[in-house]
Amino acid sequence: HVQLVESGGGSVQPGGSLRLSCDASGYTYRSNCMGWFRQAPGKEREGDAFVYFGGGSTYYADSVKGRFTISQDKGENTVYLLMNSLKPDDTAIYYCAFAFRWLGGSWSVPAEYNYWGQGTQVTVSS
């Protein structure tokens, strides 16, 4: 059973930065994937970033390219989302999600993932 625990959310001013962490346990490291999603009030959950553990491939939503970076610490089984140049529109609950297989073009589809963390709130406001 895979367990995911997010941390690192908080409040920040526009233009600021935050780094989210997702600590994962209970899985074999390779051939799996992790995604970061956000969900704002009244909106659907949407994918921001994706990493494939096997080869390190990463994908990003157009809205966060150049601002967000997903990375993995294999030794600690932790995946990070570094968020720079934050905007008020980035305000949401952020979730990490785990998939047992390569997702490729469907990386941003929430239903493709097998496990989810509990979420961490990010608020961007002046």
Rounded to the nearest integer, the mean pLDDT of the chain is 93
pLDDT tens across 23-60, in order?
988 876 666 899 999 999 999 999 999 999 888 899 99
Distance, CA of 48 to CA of 62 (rounded, Å): 8
How much of the chain exceeds pLDDT 90, in percent?
A: 76
The yes-or-no verdict on residue 6 having pLDDT over 80 is yes
CA 37 to chain centre: 5
The yes-or-no verdict on residue 14 having pLDDT over 70 is yes
Give the phi and the psi of residue 10 in degrees, each rounded to 5.
Answer: 165, -165
* Stretch 95-106: mean pLDDT: 92
Q: What is the pLDDT of residue 101?
A: 87
pLDDT tens across 114-125, in order?
999 999 999 999
